[in-house]
A and B are shown apart, each in its own frame.
Chain A
Amino acid sequence: MSGPGEDPADAQDATAVDEAGLDPVTQDRVAAALAALPALALPDDVAARLHAALAAERDTPAPAAEHAVASAGATVTALQPRRARVPRGNAAVLGAAASVVVVLALGVAWVASGHVGGTSGSSAAAAGAVPGASPVNVFAVHPTESGVGYTPAALPAQARTLVDLSTVHPSAATVSGAATSPAGALTSASGPSGGTAGASSSGSIPASRSSAVAPTVTALLTTPSVLDRCLQELEAGGPPLRPLAVDGGTFRSAPAVVVVLSGGGQQLAVYVVTPACGQGGDPHLLYYANVTR
């Protein structure tokens, strides 16, 4: 029997449990076994790391990257009760000349609702009012079309550069009014022969994009609903993703889109998908890499 606000699936499963006949004695016995688990103390190395991070936070008055990006022009949308996630369809396509670049404003109150670590607005926040907190954080992603040829070997450096550029130049596309992209820096990150040369996060952003971008890639990046569907498939039923960067180019000479997510800590989760990402309920993944910043 499903109570008010209760997940029907949960209630259904609970019924199934009852029908399975797990008796109260066994339930209590399992609960007692769990309660008997010993207390765990925070290990010294983790404590040192944690308090160093908090000390750094205390000593750094500058806002976090997410705040900086947000203040650079993202749309700020307060957390809505019962549904934290703001549809990614709230993107603005910035004119025909800049049609290759979309500013995708994602307004999600994620920290105050208890969401950190690279995702936002999960089912927990969506489930109801947030006790003791109010929205304080938002983020934005600015899909680009560099036309760069991504390769497995160069992908780590390329992903780092892509994220750096997204942070350093969060509104580059809107400033120039022309199609801009991190193509030059990304090419540099790939090395002269597409190898694994180190990337320079301060590399300049060229004023024009590569002409090597397939129309299907452009369609994915410039159509908010399509990109939204792609990201939803990458979510795979998990909490909404917080992409750090999205870029169109090629992968092994085939049209592709690179989506970089925070993987927690210093990790980047880099997904390479085809322009069909999201179609047929499939992210159409080509390649995945876990990259250290």
Chain B
Amino acid sequence: MSEQDTGTPDDAALLAAHVAGDPGAFEVLVRRHQDRLWAVALRTVGDREDAADALQNALVAAYRSAAGFRGDAAVTTWLHRIVVNACLDVVRRRTARPTDPLPEAAREPADPRDRFAESDTAAAVAAALATLPVDQRAALVLVDVHGYGVEQAAAILGVPTGTVKSRCARGRARLAPMLAGVWNPAAPGNVEAAQPAQPPRGARNGEDLR
């Protein structure tokens, strides 16, 4: 088992150990990355429960499919890809089809703890981010929030690098007027004015559609 400089197994070694039957290896791997994966999930989904579901489903799926990992990408990229795709699926299902309307993500922090963890400015930025179309949001979460390179973000999202760049550019362009109110409270177009996207078919749970 290869080891990091710290003497602990690296990600690839942990995954290989898991595939080989080590019952604790995958948990060590998850604990190593769970905070960042959670942050990506929560920022992308914008809803705590949905993010928790997506993260759990994704990591259980990764647990099961680890034997299929070929090692031609970093383990973290693979994990992020599974988690991000689970998040995108959750958001698209929620917004593209008649389910419960989007949460009040545009006005409230996704995680109640954020109220305490984030400053007013950070909360406003997070709220503005939550109003973006999910593809743009996911790209910005990876590139701007978490500092992944465009190429790694492209690998995670499964899209060309040019697409990541354009999504980031479009996302920033949408955010700029909203953040103007944060940077300058007297300016128009602050976050409060931003409206979350509406489910196209507008159905509610248990609702007749005719």
| Of B65, B89, B98, B159, the contact of A239 (CB 8 Å cutoff) | B89
CB-defined contacts of B57 to chain A, threshold 8 Å: 116-118, 264-265
Q: A30-B172, A238-B97 are in contact. Are A54 and B125 (CB under 8 A)?
A: no
Compute how far the CA of A18 lies from the CA of B125 in the bound complex, rounded to whole angstroms. Answer: 23
B14 interface residue per 8 A CB criterion: no
Contact status B176-A6, CB under 8 Å: no
B77 interface residue per 8 A CB criterion: yes
Contact status B84-A114, CB under 8 Å: yes
The A49-66 residues at the B interface (CB cut-off 8 A) are 49-51, 53-55, 57-58, 64
CB-defined contacts of A122 to chain B, threshold 8 Å: 85, 88-89, 92
The A25-44 residues at the B interface (CB cut-off 8 A) are 26-27, 29-31, 33-43
Contact status A112-B92, CB under 8 Å: no
A76 interface residue per 8 A CB criterion: no
Most B CB atoms within 10 A — which of A41, A125, A131?
A131
CB-defined contacts of A30 to chain B, threshold 8 Å: 144, 172, 175-176, 179
Distance in Å: Cβ of B83 to nearest Cβ of chain A: 8
A280 interface residue per 8 A CB criterion: no
Compute how far the CA of A134 lies from the CA of B68 in the bound complex, rounded to whole angstroms. Answer: 5
CB-defined contacts of B64 to chain A, threshold 8 Å: 57, 64, 111, 136-137
B35 interface residue per 8 A CB criterion: yes
CB-defined contacts of B163 to chain A, threshold 8 Å: 6-7, 10
The residue in chain B whose Cβ has the minimal distance to the Cβ of A4 is B160
Compute how far the CA of A283 lies from the CA of B22 in the bound complex, rounded to whole angstroms. Answer: 47
| Of B30, B92, B114, the contact of A40 (CB 8 Å cutoff) | B114
B27-59 interface code vs A (CB 8 A; 1 in, 0 out): 100100011011100110000101011111111
CB-defined contacts of A46 to chain B, threshold 8 Å: 38, 48, 52, 55-56
A124 interface residue per 8 A CB criterion: yes
Contact status B162-A117, CB under 8 Å: no
Compute how far the CA of A33 lies from the CA of B143 in the bound complex, rounded to whole angstroms. Answer: 12
Name the interface size band of chain A.
35 or more
The residue in chain B whose Cβ has the minimal distance to the Cβ of A18 is B169
From A91-99, A173-181, A284-292, the one touching the partner chain is A284-292
| Of A54, A117, A269, the contact of B89 (CB 8 Å cutoff) | A117
B122 interface residue per 8 A CB criterion: yes
Distance in Å: Cβ of A246 to nearest Cβ of chain B: 16
Distance in Å: Cβ of B190 to nearest Cβ of chain A: 13
Contact status A290-B60, CB under 8 Å: no
CB-defined contacts of A11 to chain B, threshold 8 Å: 162, 166
Q: A132-B78, A137-B65, A238-B97 are in contact. Are A116 and B89 (CB under 8 A)?
A: yes
B145 interface residue per 8 A CB criterion: yes
CB-defined contacts of A14 to chain B, threshold 8 Å: 162, 165-166, 169-170
B140 interface residue per 8 A CB criterion: yes
From A195-203, A208-216, A229-237, the one touching the partner chain is A229-237
| Of B143, B167, B172, B205, the contact of A290 (CB 8 Å cutoff) | B205
B90 interface residue per 8 A CB criterion: yes
CB-defined contacts of A236 to chain B, threshold 8 Å: 96-97, 200-201
Compute how far the CA of A117 lies from the CA of B89 in the bound complex, rounded to whole angstroms. Answer: 7
Most A CB atoms within 10 A — which of B55, B85, B114, B204?
B85
The A105-140 residues at the B interface (CB cut-off 8 A) are 111-119, 122-128, 130-137
Distance in Å: Cβ of B196 to nearest Cβ of chain A: 17
The residue in chain B whose Cβ has the minimal distance to the Cβ of A131 is B73
28 contacts between A and B (CB under 8 A): A3-B160, A6-B162, A14-B170, A17-B173, A26-B176, A30-B175, A31-B143, A33-B175, A37-B126, A50-B30, A54-B63, A114-B78, A114-B82, A114-B85, A114-B86, A116-B82, A117-B54, A117-B89, A133-B78, A134-B69, A136-B67, A136-B68, A137-B61, A234-B97, A235-B97, A239-B93, A269-B97, A287-B207
Starting from the known contacts A50-B34, A264-B90, 4 additional A-B residue pairs (CB-CB under 8 Å) come to A38-B117, A111-B61, A118-B89, A134-B69
